[in-house]
Structure 1
Amino acid sequence: MSKFQVAYIPVGVPTFHLESAQVEFEKSIKTISSITEDGVYPDKMLLSIDDLCSFLDMIDPGLVILQNITFANSAYASEVLKRFSCPVLLWTLREPVIDGGRLRLNSLTGAYSAANALMSFRDGNFEYIFGGPDEEKVKAKLQAAIKAAKLKQDLTQLKMASVGHTPQGFGFGRALDIDMLNTFGVTLDSIEARELIDQAKAYTDEDCEEYLKEMKGCTVGLEKTPDQNLKDFARLCKAYKDYVVNNNIGALSSRCWPDFFTAFGTPVCAVLAMLNDLGVAASCEADAYGALSMYMGMNLTGNAVFFGDPVSLDEEENTITYWHCGTAACSLAHPAEGAQIGVHPNRKIGPAMDFGCKPCEKVTIFRVGRKADGSFRFFLSSGEALDKPKQFIGTSVVVKTKNASIDVVNQSVLDGWEPHFAVIYGDVKAELEILGHMLGIEICEY
């Protein structure tokens, strides 16, 4: 696994005001260092092609921050681009002084030269920011670009699993391994649900005691579940966790109904909830792109992500309710109620999660979707998770959307989006927009 590097590449020529450039050089390193521990920096400004090449020989970046510390012609950018295929953030500095005297940096003209080369090499696929290293908008863009580039690299090291097939009529979540690899760099494995069911049946009660203890420690009301269902849950939990650990799985989508009710007698809902709390993005109804959406949100925030259907709309409150049968992570439960245990709303068998989710001032609604022609697109919307009780049997979160909720619903239905979404606890809209641009994927904001 290659280490992620953020390479700061300040290029220029020695005929401009180097005292001013040196100040910006030092401030830029300080700013980048305050954002990431993964930065690599030259010892000095790169004021010749030879200096540039010497530094490029030493690095293997996941993101290049190409800064015109002064003017530099396109040969500098071209040298970077012919060596590396990673994302590029082009950074232009402000002129430090405008007093009718000497042009000190001329960074902006250099940016045009670099951008012209980037257009030729990358067809415009690069990020851009204008401003000084002390400006908050610059810091925010640097941070978002770094996190997006890190996620892009992490995707190439992600191994996902599809456990079973999507139910009839749920084909929108079915993924091909070659599509995952080609677009996202993700490796996708597949296993039949019956294989994990058979493995679960083979365990003894003693094999699985730790999983029941863990579940009792983070939930409320588990004792209401019949003893056999509790034992079967623990068996299933061990089967899934062993598979995830033994195969280095970072995200999975799992078939749920009807197999786990008819062939096993106990739902998989609570098992997926526990995986989500363990940092393994786990979606139900075998929605691979839903699991991928969850993984991206978890990677960017370090927190569990809610997965569910938009089921209710309130125009006056300007809210959309997202709900699912009971797979939400325990850590998402409202602290006043805790992670309540109930039964599956349709089959009336437990254990399944049954609670309203905790509030959050800023959430991001996200989906990796596919259009009818097979091309990918990102759904993005922002809002606030309100302090609301459970809305229906199962797990739910009520989101007050930044834009009119009726417009979000109307337009996304007309645009043919899939019915599963990730509600990410945190504002990561900028990062996902940049990631989409880096991957060449259409961004659809609502």
Structure 2
Amino acid sequence: MTYASAEGRGVTVGLLFLGRKRPGFDMEWGRQMQQRVRRQLGQMELDVFEPREQAVDDASIRQAIAECEEHGVDALVLLQTTMADGRLAPTAAQLWPDPLVLWATPEKPEGDMVSSCSLVGTHVWASTLKRLGHSFEIVSGDPDEAGTRQHVIEAVRLAATVRRLRRLRVGLIGGQAPGFLAMNADPFALHQSLGAQLQTYSLLEFAGVVESLPTKAVEEDVAVVKRMNLPHKDTTDEDLPMASRLYLAMRHYFDEEHLDALAVRCWPEMPNTYGQWPYLGMARLADEGRAIACEGDVDGALCAWIGESLGMGRCYLSDWLEHDDQTMTLWHGGAAPLSLSPPPDQPGGPRIARHFNNKKPAVVEATIKPNMPITIFRLWRCDGNCHLAACDGDTIQPRRHLMGTQALARLVDRNPSDWFDELCHRGMPHHVAVVPGHHSALLRRLARMMHFVFS
């Protein structure tokens, strides 16, 4: 059985009820709870697939998981609305190598009989999976409660993100920027730690794509940019055709090379070769939900992809420019998603400008919206470990204007100076990902699921 919500966002859930071969507990209560789960899942931001039969023994759980695999399920949600057989947990772990979501439903609130032991059964499975080294998420609660539904969505997104990471295809054009050695991407370490594959392309190959774009396609895209009503600071419409060529060339790699994320070496070659920076195009791609990173930062592109996969929103990849004991300044050359700034006709809104350093177009000069909750995070590898750092914060009004894209942030629970010192000693590269909302707790759960070191 398949059913989808009106707001489905591309995550397909396998809903697997673990049943009983013999009656026990309150079977009618269990059936009622199953119907409530189905009803609420059908209203969430998920597409739901349910195998034909419940899993009650080894043969039936094998059949159910095989149906989920055939249907292209991204995450498995397993429920025991009455306590099921704990001996099935090792089979599930063998057949589904990615994280499992275990959902414990509540006891019947009336009467003196224990109605389900759902939480007990979930505990049995969780303790078994932990000893098997198999990741999982636990949800406990009534499907009719908003908090439970939110927890389900988060758990499903986490499990689906891990599964999709192991099938991810990342592109790198030209390598990392000169001197940024910590951003060097090792395709084998990337695959071993995340399961993702890395495909590399030369700047000469990129140039071939730029030059081969039809004039009509470029003209049509220039018209799209003009309809965005972005004001010029010190550029003109004459700068737009090359900006569109660079945008379309980068988009080509997403579409034609089937990439999920892309990192591009944007300097020094591009401004010298094309007379332009690709940052206006990068800002547009980021605003479209594409995981794009400048300066050849592959892990930065992965951060953007993780943000999108977990539903956190558009990602601004930034330098950590300066800090004091209260605030940190986030700044970069001008490739932030347009939607993270005020509208173009308001102070701080995006405008097309020349680069602060060599005065070549086309970058996006903007201020990230003040008074916005944000999460600052970063993924990287060092000393044989995969690391993930995350902290919640809030943007405030910047003290001064800076060319490029900027934000001033106050961290929620730590001193920026102390955190910077800790992260430097853990080997974190110098870019951080910034997304709207407070998500550090969700990222901590991702780190636990992936066996990362969390800071």
TM-score of the aligned structures, taking structure 1 as reference length: 0.87
Deviation at 1:46, TM superposition (A): 5.1
Partner of 2:268: 258
- After TM superposition, the structure 1 stretch with the greater mean CA deviation from structure 2, 286-295 or 148-157, is 148-157
CA shift in 2, pair 1:211/1:434, >3 Å:
same
What is the rounded CA distance, in whole Å, between the counterparts of 1:228 and 1:274 in structure 2?
A: 18
Q: Which runs of 5+ in 1 are unaligned?
A: none
Deviation at 1:63, TM superposition (A): 2.2
Q: Please list, as runs of the form range in 1=range in 2, the aligned pairs for 1:121-270 lying within 5 A after superposition.
A: 121=132, 123=133, 125-201=135-211, 208-222=218-232, 224-225=234-235, 229-270=239-280
RMSD: 3.0
Partner of 2:5: none
Partner of 2:367: 356
Is 2:116 the counterpart of 1:105?
Answer: yes
CA contact (8 A) 2:13 2:156 kept: no
Residue 58 of structure 1 aligns to a residue whose secondary structure is: helix
CA contact (8 A) 1:147 1:431 kept: no
Q: Percent identity?
A: 24
What is the rounded CA distance, in whole Å, between the counterparts of 2:50 and 2:429 in structure 1?
A: 44
What is the rounded CA distance, in whole Å, between the counterparts of 2:357 and 2:255 in structure 1?
A: 31
Partner residue of 2:430 out of 419, 423, 427: 419
Partner of 1:89: 101
Q: Please list, as runs of the form range in 1=range in 2, the aligned pairs for 1:25-104 lying within 5 A after superposition.
A: 25-41=34-50, 52=61, 55-60=64-69, 61-97=73-109, 101-104=112-115
CA contact (8 A) 1:181 1:187 kept: yes
Partner of 2:31: 22
Q: Please list, as runs of the form range in 1=range in 2, the aligned pairs for 1:392-407 lying within 5 A after superposition.
A: 392-406=402-416, 407=418
Residue 71 of structure 1 aligns to a residue whose secondary structure is: coil
What is the rounded CA distance, in whole Å, between the counterparts of 1:52 and 1:242 in structure 2?
A: 42
What is the rounded CA distance, in whole Å, between the counterparts of 1:129 and 1:199 in structure 2?
A: 48
Q: Which runs of 5+ in 2 are unaligned?
A: 1-9
Residue 376 of structure 2 aligns to a residue whose secondary structure is: strand
What is the rounded CA distance, in whole Å, between the counterparts of 1:443 and 1:137 in structure 2?
A: 25
What is the rounded CA distance, in whole Å, between the counterparts of 1:124 and 1:242 in structure 2?
A: 38
What is the rounded CA distance, in whole Å, between the counterparts of 1:240 and 1:41 in structure 2?
A: 39
Is 2:443 the counterpart of 1:435?
Answer: no
For residues 188-246 of structure 1, what are the alpha-carbon distances to aligned partners after superposition, in whole Å with 9 as ceiling and x for unaligned?
Answer: 21112233235435667655222322223325333732676444333333333333332
- Counterpart of 1:220, as a letter, is L
Is 2:335 the counterpart of 1:327?
Answer: yes
CA shift in 2, pair 1:415/1:181, >3 Å:
closer
- After TM superposition, the structure 1 stretch with the greater mean CA deviation from structure 2, 209-218 or 392-401, is 209-218
Partner of 2:358: 347
Deviation at 1:324, TM superposition (A): 0.2
CA contact (8 A) 2:275 2:361 kept: no
Deviation at 1:306, TM superposition (A): 0.8
For residues 307-352 of structure 1, what are the alpha-carbon distances to aligned partners after superposition, in whole Å with 9 as ceiling and x for unaligned?
Answer: 101113244xx33221101111222221224321221111121121
What is the rounded CA distance, in whole Å, between the counterparts of 1:18 and 1:155 in structure 2?
A: 39
CA shift in 2, pair 1:77/1:36, >3 Å:
farther
- Counterpart of 2:437, as a letter, is G
For residues 335-375 of structure 1, what are the alpha-carbon distances to aligned partners after superposition, in whole Å with 9 as ceiling and x for unaligned?
Answer: 2243212211111211211110224643221211122x132
Partner of 2:7: none
CA contact (8 A) 1:360 1:386 kept: yes
What is the rounded CA distance, in whole Å, between the counterparts of 1:249 and 1:299 in structure 2?
A: 14
Is 2:22 the counterpart of 1:10?
Answer: no
For residues 48-80 of structure 1, what are the alpha-carbon distances to aligned partners after superposition, in whole Å with 9 as ceiling and x for unaligned?
Answer: 666655544532243222223223332232332
CA shift in 2, pair 1:189/1:221, >3 Å:
same
What is the rounded CA distance, in whole Å, between the counterparts of 1:393 and 1:342 in structure 2?
A: 9
Partner of 1:376: 386
- After TM superposition, the structure 1 stretch with the greater mean CA deviation from structure 2, 412-421 or 55-64, is 55-64
What is the rounded CA distance, in whole Å, between the counterparts of 1:138 and 1:369 in structure 2?
A: 32
Is 2:288 the counterpart of 1:278?
Answer: yes
Residue 429 of structure 2 aligns to a residue whose secondary structure is: coil
For residues 261-309 of structure 1, what are the alpha-carbon distances to aligned partners after superposition, in whole Å with 9 as ceiling and x for unaligned?
Answer: 3333222222222222233222111111011101211233374211101
For residues 68-118 of structure 1, what are the alpha-carbon distances to aligned partners after superposition, in whole Å with 9 as ceiling and x for unaligned?
Answer: 32233322323323322231122333433486x433222343234323431
Residue 370 of structure 1 aligns to a residue whose secondary structure is: strand
What is the rounded CA distance, in whole Å, between the counterparts of 2:238 and 2:151 in structure 1?
A: 53
TM-score of the aligned structures, taking structure 2 as reference length: 0.85
CA shift in 2, pair 1:97/1:245, >3 Å:
closer
